[in-house]
Amino acid sequence: MKPFSIFALFLFLTILFYACEKKPETAGKPNIILISADDLGWSDIGCYGSEVQTPNLDKLGEGGMRFTRFHNTSKCFPSRACLLTGVYAQQSNYHQHHRNPITNAVTLGEVLQTAGYRTLWSGKHHGLENPVSRGFDRYYGLKDGACNYFNPGNQLPGEGAPARKGTPGNKRKRWWCIDSVMFHPYTPDAEDFYTTDYFTNYALDWLDEYKNDENPFFLYLAYTAPHDPLMAWPEDIAKYEDKYDEGYKAIRQKRYQKQIEMGLIDENYRLSESSYDEWGNLSDSVREDEIRKMEVYAAMIDRMDQNIGKVLKKLRETGEDENTLILFVSDNGASAEVVLLPDDSGEIGSMTRWTSLGPDWANVSNTPFRYYKNYSYEGGTNTPFIAYWPGKIEPNSFSDFPGHFIDFMATFVDLTGAEYPQVFNGQQITPMQGQSLLPVFRGKETERKNPIFWEWSDGQAAYFNSWKIVKEGRGNSWDLYNLENDPTETNNLVEKYPGKVEELEYLFEEWKEGLPEF
């Protein structure tokens, strides 16, 4: 054999060897996209009963699996900590505020990198650390909790002052990141800037940039919509003109009826008692403001759905649509919190006015449940959860598996073969607290192995084997509900089954005693 031929054969075998060496690490592993909304109520998207136009989320819901008993923590940053780490916020030092580093825990990015994943994050963090220091190859977005949608930074020449939380002399500046660079504040110069759009733009650019990458990707797309301030593009608001003139009761009843007709819920889901004001008792000016608020809120959800549609289109263009698991959740129930700024001006929905949804529409958004964000009742903790995976998850299927955000880590480790460490960077790591959802995705009958616990602000709760104790206010007594028979918590069984209360309270106190001290 000639020397050149020997060299060519050697080169070919060398390339083949390294290709075969690398292939088993990532071959067959799906891409993963985890999308989160912010302060989105349980009934706020079409496939969960809403009148808001969400054709892309509806496609995912109707083409995949919709969960009816999946849970967050009822508050933004502890929910995101659970989602990101697979342990309770009380175990990662994120249970009281978000100004600590993630402690005794690892992130989805750090774990998925061990399985060869390209890790991408665009959107909200609500944490101390820059995600690129915690396992993410790329990050763009708001490191803080909430910001102005059109301009999160300083006033630009020729524009009004962007509404920001704080007093007139002490407006809070928000932290923003583009990869390793942090801005405080971040003042965009693009005339078309709107956070929902730009979170998506960066995600789309990355999907293009890495489309020829041999490794699978994990994309965490964390929208701030529809968290206040209520701000939306005029063309989106115009779609919902006159949609909400009927008021709270009519919209809530229509959503509830739609949920039943589509098979999302059954007769066990009794519509909880309403807490909104009587529409007819409102003054004309208050009623006009309430209508406008909901029009803008709907427009924000609509715009988020439009952007999700762009991501789905990009997956088709890059040929990754059949090999991508897509998950969608909300970080807590709709919010009854109201922010009032003394120097607000302009129309509801504009850059210069900070407006909140308020408790009355939040009651509608969380149909059919009670209460809202910050409460450990289902209205605060039950999230719309969609799982979509072509060829793997049965289309138009439903699951009442009682899940929690802590389950994402266990699911991704199970799915990818990633390594979850006992020690990371010299720090002892809390074991995973969740349960893999893969059997549920595959349609297998699956029971919850361990209890679920909640504790945020004045709310506390524990769940196990269909039973839930919950209370609002540390000095108050427990309520008791059987969520299998009464998922909307309308029939308090505390007097009928005191032994069940004692059993769940023991589990709750045992969990509390086992938590680390920070």
Q: What is the pLDDT of residue 474?
A: 85
The rounded distance, in Å, linking the Cα atoms of 454 and 373 is 13
Half-sphere exposure of 7 (CA within 13 A, CB side): 3
List the structure tokens of 49. 């009963």
Terminal Cα distance for the chain, rounded: 70
List the structure tokens of 335. 């919010």
User: Domain-by-domain residue ranges, the chain?
Assistant: 29-445
The pTM score is: 0.94
Closest CA to 125 of 207, 32, 195: 195
Q: What is the pLDDT of residue 17?
A: 45
Please give the full DSSP string across 336-387, using - where no structure is assigned: ------TT--S-TBSTT------HHHHHHHTTTSS--TT-SSHHHHEEEEEE
> What class does CATH assign to 29-445?
alpha beta
The rounded distance, in Å, linking the Cα atoms of 397 and 443 is 9
Pairing of strands 138-142, 176-178: antiparallel
What's the CA dihedral at 356, 358, 363, 365 to 10 degrees?
A: -10
- Give per-residue pLDDT as tens, 424-440: 999 999 999 999 999 99
Q: What one-character DSSP code corresponds to residue 42? A: T
| pLDDT digits (tens), the chain, 518 positions | 444 455 444 444 444 444 444 444 677 899 999 999 999 999 999 999 999 999 999 999 999 999 999 999 999 999 999 999 999 999 999 999 999 999 999 999 999 999 999 999 999 999 999 999 999 999 999 999 999 999 999 999 999 999 998 867 678 889 999 999 999 999 999 999 999 999 999 999 999 999 999 999 999 999 999 999 999 999 999 999 999 999 999 999 999 999 999 999 999 999 999 999 999 999 999 999 999 999 999 999 999 999 999 999 999 999 999 999 999 999 999 999 999 998 888 999 999 999 999 999 999 999 999 999 999 999 999 999 999 999 999 999 999 999 999 999 999 999 999 999 999 999 999 999 999 999 999 999 999 999 999 999 999 999 999 999 999 998 899 999 999 999 999 999 999 999 999 999 999 999 999 999 99
The rounded distance, in Å, linking the Cα atoms of 110 and 85 is 10
